Amino acid sequence: MKLSRFEGRNIGLAGLTTGGVGKAWKAIADKMFAESYILYYGFPQKKIITKTKVFYVDPPLIRGKAIKVATRLLRQPVIAIVNAESSCIDKNLVESVVEDIEVGEYTIYMSIPYTSTELEKLYKEVTSIIYKHIPNIKLPPHPSYSLIVGVKKYFEVEEETLWSYEHLTVLMSLLDGKAKVKVDNSNCKDVVQSIFSGMEKVFTMSLLKSVIKLAIKRKIIEKERGLRVLEEVEARIK
Amino acid sequence: MKIFIALSKNYFRLIANAISNIKPPPRVLIASDDDEVEALCKYSGFEFKRLADVKNLEELRECDIAILALAEDSENIAMLKVVKDFNVPIIIALLHNKNNRDVLIGEGVHYIVDVDEYLYANLSAMLLPDTWIFITPISLLSKVKIALYRVLRRALLGISYDDIKGAFSKLNLNIYVEFFNRFGNRASGQVLAAGDYIVISGFDDDVKQAVKELEKLFRKFEEIQASRTLQQIKSREYG
């Protein structure tokens, strides 16, 4: 019997993809994880054939929904959500991050920005609105990340966004005094695929709305003020 | 008999109907996160629990059947992992996305009811004329198939119902063939008209063979039609 040095680890892995599964997946998906899934959130044109289980997310092209599904499917206390099409991910990085989380150094660790210029531009506008109205919070500097590892309980948020779920988990962990969030802006960046072009505005606006809604729900800002901000935002979109 | 059901609000009516028809009435335990379901359970006298409490529910060991009818496939799988720990002998799950069938089977579901298939088949029958669409009406009996065909352009070929029945009678297949007009009533004329439906039901292999035979018949008539039109067009030579 082979004994793996990761024996008995209780970590779940979910790889998000809109098309094929690249080199990243081959490097990561081994015995290190107790359970692993590939979440396919594109339109299925060809079948992915791998050893791991493939789950098709409905509705397609909604990344926020795919991450939410990942948190539902995995039962482990620590979960890793990875962009399986990433060109930056390597095994050593993932291993070291997972170890840090297991030891308890951090509760949420994000690395490798996953953006495009258009998305970045709109995200900066959105965050400036958020900081203007809710000055006492801090959000990650990029709209989405290719590697997210964390304790599962912070991922259980009822709010939904269309693109970046990370920000809601960061907000959730802010409320907990013990939580430590680490955002690592590595040199390598992943570029968002061209299928998503044209959807950036919808994505960022949904992020803005759900962040404010969550802030109201968790009493970070007063209810009346939060509702006024929401109205303002909706008027600006029209 | 005791049945455990994990239920979302949109399937309550369907499943309550199915259960009220069982004699003798079984004991039912319903788990859900929707408030609507809790209210309806009070009305119909079913036992109710929250989904989060199912993990510690020792009563599950006495259940004979577990039915998973939650709103999403991922929720069904998450619930399945919990139910599996209690050794429930039969687990039935509702499937929404056709592609996820393999995952559900891999996790250990005994029977799958495909919700997607009916919607898909009905929609494509409306959208795609002149194509064959196959439906499995009962997921437990996967060999029983229905083939559906909506005639549109091929109605111009002038094929009569007797032609089709004659072609089938030669093969001696164990199938049932019926023709409907576009209003869903039984077709009364002699010849296939635009908007007609051809419905073939029977066992998988027989239905497939019948479809092949019918396709052959259509091609034959198309060839005749093509040769006729060729003769009519008077080609003019240049040079």
**Closest partner CB to B96 (pick from A58, A69, A75):** A58
Instruction: Give the Cα separation of B81 and B211 in Å (integer).
Output: 41
Look up the CATH number of domain A11-116+138-192: 3.90.550.10
**What is the nearest CA distance from A236 to chain B, expressed in angstroms?**
34
The two three-digit tokens of residue B166, written as one number: 């004659």
**What is the nearest CA distance from A72 to chain B, expressed in angstroms?**
6
User: Under an 8 A CB cutoff, do B102 and A53 touch?
Assistant: yes
Pick the CATH number of B2-118 from 3.40.50.720, 3.60.21.10, 3.40.640.10, 3.40.50.620: 3.40.50.720
Could you report the predicted ipTM of this complex, rounded to two decimals?
A: 0.82
**Given this model, what pLDDT does residue A1 score?**
45
Instruction: Give the Cα separation of A153 and A78 in Å (integer).
Output: 9
- pLDDT digit string (tens) for chain A, length 238 residues: 444 555 567 889 999 998 877 777 877 877 778 888 999 998 877 777 788 889 999 888 999 999 999 999 998 999 999 999 888 888 888 889 988 998 889 999 999 999 999 999 999 988 998 898 888 888 899 999 999 999 998 998 888 899 999 999 998 888 887 888 999 888 889 999 888 988 898 999 999 999 999 989 888 888 898 888 888 887 876 6
Q: B101: which chain A residues are within 8 Å (Cβ-Cβ)? A: none
Q: Which CATH architecture has domain B128-232?
A: 2-Layer Sandwich (3.30)
**What is the nearest CA distance from B17 to chain A, expressed in angstroms?**
28
What is the mean predicted confidence (pLDDT) over B189-195? 87
Q: Does residue B155 have a pLDDT over 80?
A: yes
User: Under an 8 A CB cutoff, do A54 and B81 touch?
Assistant: no
What phi-psi label fits residue A61: left (phi over 0), alpha (psi between -120 and 50 degrees) or beta?
A: left
Residue B129: cis peptide before it, omega within 30 degrees of 0 = no
**Given this model, what pLDDT does residue B214 score?**
92
Q: B97: which chain A residues are within 8 Å (Cβ-Cβ)? A: 56, 58
**Given this model, what pLDDT does residue A142 score?**
92
Report which DSSP code applies to B134.
E
**What is the nearest CA distance from A40 to chain B, expressed in angstroms?**
10
**Please, is A233 exposed, middle or buried when counting C-beta atoms within 10 Å of its C-beta (0-12, 13-18, 19+)?**
middle
> Considering chain B, what is the average pLDDT of its residues?
89
User: Under an 8 A CB cutoff, do A53 and B103 touch?
Assistant: yes
**Given this model, what pLDDT does residue B117 score?**
81
The two three-digit tokens of residue A66, written as one number: 């795919």
pLDDT by residue (tens digit) across B76-120?
Answer: 999 999 999 999 999 999 999 888 888 999 999 999 988 888 888
Q: A72: which chain B residues are within 8 Å (Cβ-Cβ)? A: 72, 74-75, 77-78
**Is pTM, for the whole model, over 0.95?**
no
Q: B96 CB near a chain A CB, below 8 Å?
A: yes
What is the mean predicted confidence (pLDDT) over B201-208? 94
Can you give the residue ranges of every domain in chain B?
2-118, 128-232
Q: Does residue B68 have a pLDDT over 50?
A: yes
- CA closest to B82 among chain A residues: A75
**Given this model, what pLDDT does residue A238 score?**
63
**Given this model, what pLDDT does residue A43 score?**
85
User: Residue B146, Cβ neighbours under 10 Å: how many?
Assistant: 16
| Element housing B85 (H / E) | none
Q: A57: which chain B residues are within 8 Å (Cβ-Cβ)? A: 74
**Closest partner CB to A56 (pick from B78, B97, B106):** B97
Beta bridge partners of A181: A108
Q: Does residue B239 have a pLDDT over 60?
A: no
Q: Does residue B142 have a pLDDT over 90?
A: no
**Given this model, what pLDDT does residue A237 score?**
66
User: Under an 8 A CB cutoff, do B78 and A54 touch?
Assistant: no
Report which DSSP code applies to B45.
T
Q: B169 CB near a chain A CB, below 8 Å?
A: no
**Given this model, what pLDDT does residue B4 score?**
94
Q: Do domains B2-118 and B128-232 have the same CATH topology?
A: no
